[in-house]
Amino acid sequence: MAKQIRDVVEQYVKLVGSGPTEAIVELYAPDATVEDPIGTPARNGHAAIREFYDVIAALDRTTELRPETVRVGGNEAAFMFTIVTRVAGQRFTLSPIDVMEFDDEGKITRMRAYWSQEDMAIEPE
């Protein structure tokens, strides 16, 4: 199960960086929840999760997994990655810590992202 979870984490980060929304949503179980960032209302189910990821779909974005941070224990994983978005001549860089829970089929059942506005670097392009 650990390898399967690690593979999903790698696929998730890749898709957040360049993939279509639907491919990201397919990594989640139908009744999954997303709390991103921590402290915001959880989004429940594929429709709400799709709406969440649609926000970044049209952005110029890249991601990079920090492989040395990936930790898998039981049916959970924690990891850090960097996402860079470019909007209106500015570059936004964020490195959240995501914690995910998985079901027996390797689908994400819960994702919680740890970050706040203070963690985002904004620079001119």
User: Dihedral (C-alpha) 27, 30, 33, 36: value to the nearest 10 degrees?
Assistant: 40
Which residues constitute the domain of residue 66? 2-116
As a whole number, the mean pLDDT across the chain is 96
Does some domain include residue 73? yes
pTM of the entire predicted model: 0.95
Does some domain include residue 43? yes
Q: Which residues are catalytic?
A: 12, 36
User: For residue 19, what is the domain's CATH number?
Assistant: 3.10.450.50
- Sorting pLDDT into bands at 50, 70 and 90, what band is 58? confident
Does some domain include residue 121? no
Task: State residue 52's pLDDT score.
Answer: 96
Question: Looking at the predicted structure, is the pLDDT value of residue 125 above 90?
Answer: no
Question: Looking at the predicted structure, is the pLDDT value of residue 86 above 90?
Answer: yes
Model confidence pLDDT, tens digit, residues 26-52: 999 999 999 999 999 999 999 999 999
- For every residue of 65-121, DSSP letters joined together read E-GGG-EEETTEEEEEEEEEEEETTEEEEE--EEEEEE-TTS-EEEEEEE--GGG-E
Does some domain include residue 14? yes
Domain count, the chain: 1
Does some domain include residue 105? yes
Does some domain include residue 122? no
